[in-house]
Amino acid sequence: MSITPWQLGNVPGPKTALKLTGEVAGKLLKKAKNPLIIVGAEALKVKVGEKLLLDYVIEIAEVAKIPIVATSSTLSAFLERGVEPALSMGAIEITDRLRDPEWSLDGSKPHDIVVYVGITYQLQSQLLSCLKNFAPQIRTLSLDRYYHPNATWSFQNLSEKDWIENLNILMKTLKEEKKKD
């Protein structure tokens, strides 16, 4: 059975996201040459078990050594935690730059995988649509609980319990892969 978008009317066209699991996400991030995580303001509201989504994402980024872009007012939450994001920029502005095949945070090699997490569903869907259509060099992952058809890979619509489980597997995979290295 095909996966339905979280917002049921949000049917973009024939090309829709592949189903993501925690394990696949971990492997993709580990193999990525120059990944990036974009964290939005919902990460300050949504909980992953006892933790805020933001704290969980910080952990993922630290384990996988992935730079973070803090959108909107999430910057202050990062700074409060003593974490310096690689960049603070509007979700729209960073997505605009990612359209350029040559652009990257440090000006070296372009980003190949970009993770979106914690950006309100409707806006995130549109941002992912932009990259799907205008940045074929980039593969996108959504780590939110809800299926985003415009991503390259997205979790399907998950219960909170299943979502946490997948995120834990993602973390475990990152750590395991790290050990193997």
Partner 1 sequence: MVEKGPIKFSVKSLKGSGISLEDIEIAIGRLAMEEEWEPMGPTPMPKITTLREWDMKLLKRYRPFYMPFCDLCCLCTYGKCDLTAGKRGACGLDIGAQQGRIVLIACAIGASTHTSHARHLVDHLIEKYGENWPIDLGSDIYVEMPISRLITGIKPKTLGDLSYILKYVEEQIVQTLAAAHTGQEGSYLDFESKSLHLGMLDHLAMEVADVAQIITYNFPKGKPDAPLTEVGMGLADTTKPVILCIGHNVSSGVEIIDFMKKNGLGRPGETIEVLGLCCTAHDLTRYDEQAKIVGPISHQIRFIRSGAADVLILDEQCIHIMVLSEAQRVKTPVIATSDKACHGLPDMTNKPVEEIVDALVSGKYPGVLILDLEKAGAVAVLTALRIAPIRKKFKSLPDKADLKKVAEKCTKCGRCRRNCPIDLPTDEAVFAARQGNFDKLAELYDYCLGCARCESECPRDIPIHSLIVSAAELKIKTERYKIRVGRGPILDTEIREVGSPIVFGEIPGVVAYVGCANYPEGGRDVAIMAEEFLRRRFIVTVSGCSAMSIAMYRTEEGKTLYEEYSGAFDAGGLVNVGSCVANAHIAGAAIKIANIFARRPLRANYEEIADYVLNRVGACGVAWGAMSQKAASIATGFNRLGVPVIVGPQGAKYRRLYLGRREDRESFTVYDARTGDRVWVGPAPEHLVYVAETREEAIVMTAKLCLRPNDTTKGRMIKLTHYVELYKKYYRRLPDDLHMFIRTEADIPITFKGEIMEYLKEVGWEPWEKPVVDPTLLERLIRVKK
Residue (108 or 122) nearer to partner 1, CB: 122
How is residue 180 written in tokens? 């193997």
Q: Closest separation between CB of residue 120 and partner 1, Å?
A: 5
CB 110 within 8 A of CB 104: yes
101 binds partner 1 (CB under 8 A): no
The string of DSSP letters for 117-165 reads ESS-HHHHHHHHHHHHHH-TT-EEEE-SSS--TTSSEE--S--HHHHHH
21 binds partner 1 (CB under 8 A): no
120 binds partner 1 (CB under 8 A): yes
130 binds partner 1 (CB under 8 A): yes
123 binds partner 1 (CB under 8 A): yes
Longest CA span, the chain: 44
82 binds partner 1 (CB under 8 A): no
Distance CA 57, CA 138 (A): 20
Q: Closest separation between CB of residue 130 and partner 1, Å?
A: 4
How is residue 166 written in tokens? 């997948």
Q: Which residues are near partner 1 by CB under 8 A?
A: 6-9, 11-15, 40-41, 71-73, 75-76, 79-80, 88, 90-93, 96-97, 99, 119-123, 126-127, 129-130, 132-134, 136
